[in-house]
Structure 1
Amino acid sequence: MSTDDQNKIRQLAHQIWEDEGRPEGREDEHWFRAEEMVAAARATKASPKAKTPAKAKAPAKPKAPAKKKA
């Protein structure tokens, strides 16, 4: 794991700790959650599908009813 990743994990774990009201004794839980979040973000970046989102096709317009011959 790179130093950059460790710094991201450390910052994220600290933010989780603050968001939860700074509870005592849960630093391992916060660290593991931050590790999972950084790993998920890295996997999403590495995925070729994530880089090129699929274009949504517009729904086809309904055809006008055919005119009846008299």
Structure 2
Amino acid sequence: MTNQPETGASTYPPSADFAANAHVDAAKYEEMYAASIKDPEAFWGKEGKRVDWIKPYSKVKDVDYTYGNVSI
């Protein structure tokens, strides 16, 4: 048995070595995704602190979906 994806497959499994060295496994990803959906501002506020910013952000979420004034 080979580790090759089926023809037409839309996902490709990583090598065992790559998966063993990953920072996040499937369970952790699901946990993080659920947290990002439940409270996006808290999640991205925390994750944003992992980045070195020239000027720290003052607002986590700044979007407007008003007709004619959409900004992200």
Same fold (TM over 0.5): no
> Which structure carries more helix by proportion?
1
Structure with the larger RCO, 1 or 2 (CA within 8 Å, 6+ apart): 1
Which has the higher Rg, Structure 1 or Structure 2? Answer: 1
**TM-score tier (shorter):** under 0.3
Question: What TM-score do the two structures reach when normalised by structure 1?
Answer: 0.25
